[in-house]
């Protein structure tokens, strides 16, 4: 069990709050979901902020650290859950000359989205999951969870700020 959280501020006016401190506090509230590691990612230009708490299960090394950026630097992901068929997906991606630096299902997931797109990837993956992806090029934010809703993903839009999190 990991924890994901974040927000995107779509207001055009200047902010009067410490966004880094807010995402750090939001991330710290998820400590019980991921005691092994934590990370934040900030894109001040687009006012988007990701936080992640990690419970290391599949890849115990630092190579599974999140938020994770795709190899082409286009996508950023925060992920909670397990992709059951990630080894099969990894084999398919290796056939397409995609190389991996670690052994996490998160890396396979973000590289799948990077190469196949969000819709095709969602049709191929099997597991229990919730994740958030920011596409830096298209400036799109994707939120997804497994078909049965085993892994929670909550969101709210309030005063021009879109908040999301796993609890």
Query: Phi-psi bin for 159: left (phi > 0), alpha (psi -120 to 50), beta?
Result: left
**150 and 82 in contact (C-beta within 8 Å)?**
no
Q: Is 60 helix (H, G, I), strand (E, B) or coil?
A: coil
- Of 2, 68, 77, 78, the active-site residue reads 2
Q: Look at residue 61 and tell me whether its pLDDT is greater than 70.
A: no
pLDDT at 164: 97
| 15: its two tokens | 């902010």
What mean pLDDT, rounded, does the chain reach?
A: 90
The percent of residues in the chain predicted with pLDDT above 70, rounded, is 90
| 140 is a catalytic site residue | no
Tens-place pLDDT, residues 26-51:
888 887 766 677 999 999 999 999 99
């Amino acid at each position: 069990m990991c924890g994901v959280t974040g927000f995107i501020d779509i207001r055009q006016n200047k902010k009067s709050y410490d966004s880094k401190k807010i995402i750090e506090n939001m991330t710290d509230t998820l400590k019980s979901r991921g005691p092994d590691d934590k990370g934040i990612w900030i894109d001040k230009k687009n006012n988007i902020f990701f936080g992640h708490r990690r419970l290391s299960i599949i890849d115990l090394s630092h190579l599974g650290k999140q938020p994770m950026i795709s190899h082409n630097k286009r996508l950023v992901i925060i992920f909670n859950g397990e992709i059951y068929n990630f080894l099969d997906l990894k084999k398919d991606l290796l056939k397409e000359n995609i190389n991996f630096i670690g052994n996490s299902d998160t890396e396979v997931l973000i590289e799948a989205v990077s190469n196949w797109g969000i819709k095709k990837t969602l049709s191929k993956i099997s597991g229990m999951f919730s994740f958030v992806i920011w596409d830096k090029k298209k400036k799109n934010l994707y939120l997804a969870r497994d078909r049965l809703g085993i892994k929670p993903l909550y969101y709210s839009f309030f005063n021009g700020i879109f908040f999301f999190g796993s609890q």
